Amino acid sequence: MSTEKIFVKILDKEYQVACPTEEKSALVQSAEELDSRMRAIKNSGAIIGIERIAVMAALNLSHDLLKSEGTINPVAEEDLQRMHDKLDDALGRLN
What separation in angstroms does the CA of 19 have from each of 2, 42, 53, 86? 8, 28, 25, 35
What pLDDT shows up at residue 81?
A: 73
44 versus 82: the higher-pLDDT residue is: 44
Fold classification of 3-94 (topology level):
Double Stranded RNA Binding Domain (3.30.160)
What pLDDT shows up at residue 65?
A: 82
The angle subtended at Cα 88 by Cα 83 and Cα 90, nearest 5°, is 95
Q: What is the pTM of this model?
A: 0.68
CA atoms within 13 A on the CB side of 62: 12
The rounded percent of the chain whose pLDDT value lies above 70 is: 78
Residue 93, sorted as left (phi over 0), alpha (psi -120 to 50) or beta, turns out to be alpha
Please give the average per-residue pLDDT across 16-23, as a whole number. 90
CA distance linking residue 4 with residue 20, whole number of Å: 6
What pLDDT shows up at residue 47?
A: 82
Could you state, in order of their start, the residue ranges of all structural domains in the chain? 3-94
- Digit-coded pLDDT (tens) for 62-72: 888 877 776 65
Which letter does DSSP use for residue 46 in this model? S
